[in-house]
Amino acid sequence: MAGIVKKGDTVRVHYTGKLEDGKEFDSSLKRQPLQFEVGAGSVIKGFEDAVVGLKQGEKKSVRIPPEEAYGSYDENLLVEMPKTSLPEGVVPEVGMRLQIENQQGQALPVVVTDILDGSIKLDANHPLAGKTLLFDLEAVEIL
């Protein structure tokens, strides 16, 4: 008998994630299903909540608002830094992904948004921050 996904279960889920305009940003269909423990916080809250109650083999489509995904877009995460702070040989381009260290020494992924004379502008928001996400889910297996 097929079980029902509950908090504490380890599950394997196939998914396809899209933005509201229909643009796909990620899918597990051409690779192994995503495996995670429900309730452990290793995936976004809305995704985790959506799999609870699914039966093994069941499919579901969900809409996840920013608050249950990657949060709102935060203007405070836009920073400007001197080009001299870049590692030697790195030539910044708009759209380039870099990693910088925050004050606590943690690596922070950023995207170059603008290049000025002596500095560059960076965006440290998650690329999906402020976006409503649409997921097609399939509970492949409850382990």
Q: What is the CATH number of the domain that holds 97?
A: 2.40.10.330
Beta strands in the chain (DSSP E): 10-19, 24-27, 34-37, 59-64, 78-82, 97-101, 107-115, 119-123, 133-142
Nearest in space to 123 (alpha carbons), one of 57, 78, 70: 78
The residue segments making up the domain with residue 94 are: 75-123
List the Cα angle 130/136/137 in 5-degree steps.
110
pLDDT tens-place string over residues 30-87: 999 999 999 999 999 999 999 999 999 999 999 999 999 999 999 999 999 999 988 8
Give pLDDT, residue 44: 97
Number of domains in the chain: 2
Tell me, yes or no, whether 114 and 136 share the same domain: no
- Residue 1, pLDDT above cutoff 50: no
- Domain shared by 66 and 136, yes or no: yes
The answer to whether residue 5 is domain-embedded is: no
For residue 7, the model assigns a pLDDT of 96
Helix, strand, or coil (residue 123) = strand
In a domain, 4, yes or no: no
User: What pTM did the predictor assign?
Assistant: 0.85
Q: What is the pLDDT of residues 89-127, one digit of tens each?
A: 999 999 999 998 888 988 989 999 999 999 999 999 999
Round to whole Å and give the CA distance between 96 and 137. Answer: 31
Nearest to 102 by CA among 130, 79, 133, 134: 79
The residue behind tokens 């985790």 is 48
